């Protein structure tokens, strides 16, 4: 027998070669990529599917006694958001424009422009709502009369309950 055949070990079960540095780094890179994609992907998937899971809460909020509003005037009223988060602080406050149309009728408009959500201002001298961001103009009924807004101002349902004016609030309307 030759020396060559004496030094070979056949059938010992250790036929696997150790992982090379290149294979180790490739495997590590793939695993880290999968981990990173998972970390980034979970919030994105949650954001996409949350409207299907989360129920939009609508709550009646009192904004003041009926006697504190004059017929024919539009005033700014603030209230607690319909679904405040525990850590929201001041951001949990929302607002609307409330007009008393008659002794028993009120109209409430969202304070947010339907173009990009900027807060609109009421100009009593002109009977107009003005959006300072892009020049949107709404008449006293909330209908667009100039500028880029695609829709009229969002109206909230109102009611009188135990001498208080209440608005059926919802999360900020995104149009």
Residue 50 has pLDDT above 80, yes or no: no
Domain map of the chain by residue range? 18-54, 59-169
Round the average pLDDT of the chain to a whole number and report it: 83
Note the pLDDT of residue 46: 81
Greater model confidence, 13 or 22: 22
How many helices (H) and strands (E) the chain has is answered by 2, 11
What's the CA gap between 9 and 94, in Å, rounded?
Answer: 80
Note the pLDDT of residue 43: 87
**What percent of the chain is predicted at pLDDT more than 90?**
41
Residue 10 has pLDDT above 70, yes or no: no
**What percent of the chain is predicted at pLDDT more than 70?**
78
Could you tell me which residues are beta bridge partners of residue 75?
98
Residue 33 has pLDDT above 60, yes or no: yes
> What is the per-residue DSSP string for 6-29?
HS---S-S--PPPPPHHHHHHHHH
Note the pLDDT of residue 85: 66
Greater model confidence, 173 or 31: 31
Assign 166 a pLDDT band (cuts: 50, 70, 90): very high
Average pLDDT over residues 125-146: 91
Q: What is each CA distance from 16 to 20, 32, 40, 153, 160, in whole angstroms?
A: 12, 25, 36, 72, 82
CA dihedral 161, 164, 165, 167 (to 10 degrees): -70
What's the CA gap between 93 and 80, in Å, rounded?
Answer: 5
DSSP 35: H
Note the pLDDT of residue 131: 92
Note the pLDDT of residue 56: 62
Q: Are 74 and 125 in contact (CB under 8 A)?
A: no
- Tell me which CATH code domain 59-169 carries: 2.102.10.10
Note the pLDDT of residue 160: 92
28-32, 58-62, 139-143: least confident range:
58-62
Average pLDDT over residues 75-92: 75
């Amino acid at each position: 027998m030759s020396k060559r055949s004496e030094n070979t070990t056949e059938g010992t079960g250790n036929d696997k070669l150790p992982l090379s540095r290149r294979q180790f780094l490739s495997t590590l890179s793939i695993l880290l990529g999968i981990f990173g994609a998972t970390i980034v992907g979970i919030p994105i998937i949650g954001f996409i599917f949350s409207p299907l899971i989360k129920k939009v809460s609508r709550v009646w909020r009192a904004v003041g006694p009926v006697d504190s509003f004059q017929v024919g005037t539009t005033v700014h009223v603030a209230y607690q958001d319909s679904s405040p988060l525990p850590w929201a602080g001041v951001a949990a406050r929302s607002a609307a424009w409330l007009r008393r149309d008659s002794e028993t009728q009120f109209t409430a408009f969202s304070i947010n422009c339907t173009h990009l959500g900027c807060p609109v201002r009421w100009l009593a001298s002109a009977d107009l709502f003005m959006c300072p961001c892009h020049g949107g103009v709404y008449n006293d009924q909330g209908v667009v009369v100039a500028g880029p807004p695609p829709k009229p101002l969002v109206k909230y349902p109102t009611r009188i309950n135990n001498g208080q004016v209440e608005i059926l609030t919802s999360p900020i309307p995104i149009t």
